[in-house]
Amino acid sequence: MLRNNRGWFVKGHKSYNYWLGKKRSSETKKKISLVLKGRSLSEETKNKMRGRIPWNKNKKGTFKHSLKWHLEASKRTRGKNHWNWQGGISLINDRHDSQKYKEWRIAVYKKDNFTCQICGRRKVRGVEITLNADHIQPWSIYPELRFKVSNGRTLCVECHKQTPTYGNKPKVVQEVMSYDQAA
């Protein structure tokens, strides 16, 4: 379909694909030819079409930016100015590496005597189980409870995977959020 300069479809126009492999009557061809002959292009337009003038000439700064501009743009959009800024949360999102997290995890294991709080298996010599410290109130929703030992429970990795908040799946977080909003 042909669109006019307002982007509207022009009534009565067949799409270009429609004409593929079809023959037009000689009368139609004549009409088209006459219309095209009547077109007059300015020298500048012709030169642009031939690629002699860059299409973005005289539009400085609109399409092409210098390296300096990009560096400054990157500075401008960092941190608080970035659309995805989450209040500095990313700094502590590497929680599995932080010393504070390690201490919290060990404290939770000790509280639960290294025993999975769901299946009751315990990490002892000769028993291969991997323990995880799970946040009872989700990490992402309750930042203030992140390092509260009372908000942690010891789970073996198999039981941990069954919990809805395992790995902080964004989908689950959304469900919890909408449940809270509905309540």
Residues that bind Zn ion (CB under 5 A): 116, 118-119, 156, 159
- Short-list 183, 68, 91, 70, CA closest to 146: 91
DSSP 82-126: STT--TTHHHHS-TTT-HHHHHHHHHHHHHTTTB-TTT--B--TT
C-alpha dihedral (59, 61, 65, 66), degrees to nearest 10: 110
Tell me the closest approach of the beta carbon of residue 159 to Zn ion, in angstroms: 3
146 vs 153 by CB, closer to Zn ion: 153
Number of residues that this document lists for the chain: 183
48 vs 121 by CB, closer to Zn ion: 121
Tell me the closest approach of the beta carbon of residue 120 to Zn ion, in angstroms: 7
147 vs 153 by CB, closer to Zn ion: 153
Q: How far apart are CA 111 and CA 109, in angstroms?
A: 5
Tell me the closest approach of the beta carbon of residue 108 to Zn ion, in angstroms: 14
Question: Which DSSP letter does residue 88 get?
Answer: T
Tell me the closest approach of the beta carbon of residue 118 to Zn ion, in angstroms: 5
115 vs 147 by CB, closer to Zn ion: 115
118 vs 136 by CB, closer to Zn ion: 118
Tell me the closest approach of the beta carbon of residue 172 to Zn ion, in angstroms: 19
Contacts for 131 with CB less than 8 Å, ≥ 6 apart: 109, 114, 116, 123, 154, 155, 156, 157
